[in-house]
């Protein structure tokens, strides 16, 4: 018999899960904790197999609680319960040590499937989550590590700098204020990780930007 701990401050949600679980064969609801502190106290005494963890608790933020639970409980399978379907929250939850996540308006079958999959060591994602968004999210994260993409204005300014124009003349040419040019130049140096205009132009040339 495997046991479930539900952490959710909404009384009805606890009841709903209890209803779903009551005639499942090899799982039982061990307890419902209404706050993060209550859950941490409970986990000092007991070790449930699953934790269904609400992300909005009155005392500790669910994402933070996930890290704290994971620190002292390596084996427990944590499934986040959210009422939002936001990619940023989901990826953060998974990197904080959760094994999966379910949307709160899940169906009974989905809950069973989630528990089975995380038991087998897989990551479970609610079917309502747009997988594509998640994949895309990952791909863009990787893209962030690569060479920075320059804006159109930045490219123009880089070329003009390369041609030997000074900040004020560039401002005149592009009908912008020198202050704006200066900001663009500072942004460029930060993006390309250099400290002087000389280095900036070198990196630009090496990367065939000019």
Partner 1 sequence: MRQKIGFLVLLISFLSVFQVYGQRFKEDSVRKVIDTAKEDTLRVAAMLDYANYLIRHKNEVPEGLEVLQQAYDLAKSKRLLKELTRYHLILSNHLYLQNDWAGAIENLNRMQVVAQEIPDLDARGDAIMRSTNNLAGIHYFNGDFLGALEYYLKGLELVDQLPHNANSKSTLYVNIASVYRQLKLHDKAYEYIQRITPMLSEMSDVLKVPYYYELFQSQLNTGRGEEARQTLEVVENGFQTFNLNEGQMQDLRIQFHEQSGLYEMTVTQDYRKALAQFQFHLKSSLDAESDYSVVEAKYNIGTALDSLHLYDQAIPVLKQAFEQGRALDMEEFSLKSAKLLAKIYAKSQREKEGLYFAQVAIHLSDSILSAEKLKELNFLEAKYQTQKKEEEISKLNELNAARELEVQQRNRMLLGLSIGGSLLLLVLGLLYRNAKQRQIIAEKDQKLQVEQIKFLEHQQQVVSLQSMVNGQETERTRIAKDLHDGLGGLFSTIKMHFSTLQHEQPSLKTEPLFAKSYEMVNTASEEVRRIAHNMMPEVLIKLGLVQAIQDLCHSISAGKLLQVSLQAYGMDTRLSSSTEVMLFRIIQELLNNIIKHSGATQAIIQFNREGNRLSVTVEDNGKGFNTAESDGEIHSGLSSVENRVNYLNGKMSIDSQKEVGTTVMMDFLIQE
CB of 30 to partner 1, least distance (A): 18
Count the neighbouring beta carbons within 10 Å of the beta carbon of residue 23.
Answer: 7
Nearer residue to partner 1 within complex by CB, 31 or 87: 87
Spatial distance between the Cα atoms of 129 and 106, rounded to a whole number of angstroms = 11
CB of 47 to partner 1, least distance (A): 26
Spatial distance between the Cα atoms of 35 and 85, rounded to a whole number of angstroms = 22
CB of 23 to partner 1, least distance (A): 8
Nearer residue to partner 1 within complex by CB, 9 or 38: 9
Nearer residue to partner 1 within complex by CB, 88 or 168: 88
For the chain, count helices (H), then strands (E).
10, 6
Nearer residue to partner 1 within complex by CB, 166 or 177: 177
DSSP assignments along 76-114, one per residue = PEEEEEES---HHHHHHHHHTT-SEEEETT--HHHHHHH
CB-based contacts of 68, cutoff 8 Å, min separation 6: 40, 60
CB of 20 to partner 1, least distance (A): 5
Nearer residue to partner 1 within complex by CB, 120 or 145: 145
Spatial distance between the Cα atoms of 171 and 178, rounded to a whole number of angstroms = 5
List residues near partner 1 by CB under 8 A: 9-10, 12-13, 15-17, 19-20, 23, 55-56, 61, 63, 83-89, 92, 103-109, 130, 132-133, 136-137, 140, 143-144, 148-149, 151-153, 174-177, 179-180, 183-184, 186-187, 190-191
CA 34 to chain CA centroid, Å, is 24
CB of 34 to partner 1, least distance (A): 13
């Amino acid at each position: 018999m495997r046991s479930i701990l539900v952490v959710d401050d909404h009384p009805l949600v606890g009841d709903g899960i209890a209803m779903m679980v009551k005639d499942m064969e090899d799982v039982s609801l061990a307890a419902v904790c209404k706050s993060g502190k209550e859950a941490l106290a409970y986990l000092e005494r007991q070790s449930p197999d699953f934790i269904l963890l609400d992300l909005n608790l009155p005392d500790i933020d669910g994402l933070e609680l996930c890290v704290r639970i994971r620190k002292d409980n390596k084996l427990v399978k944590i499934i986040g319960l959210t009422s939002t379907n936001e990619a940023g929250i989901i990826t953060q939850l998974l990197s904080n040590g959760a094994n999966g996540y379910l949307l709160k308006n899940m169906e009974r079958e989905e809950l069973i499937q989630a528990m089975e999959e995380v038991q087998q060591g897989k990551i479970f994602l609610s079917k309502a989550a747009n997988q594509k968004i998640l994949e895309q999210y990952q791909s863009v994260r990787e893209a962030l590590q690569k060479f920075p993409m320059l804006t159109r204005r930045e490219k123009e300014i880089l070329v003009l700098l390369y041609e030997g124009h000074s900040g004020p003349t560039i401002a005149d040419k592009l009908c912008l204020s020198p202050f704006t040019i200066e900001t663009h130049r500072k942004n460029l140096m930060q993006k390309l990780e250099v400290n002087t205009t000389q280095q900036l132009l070198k990196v630009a040339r090496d990367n065939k930007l000019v």
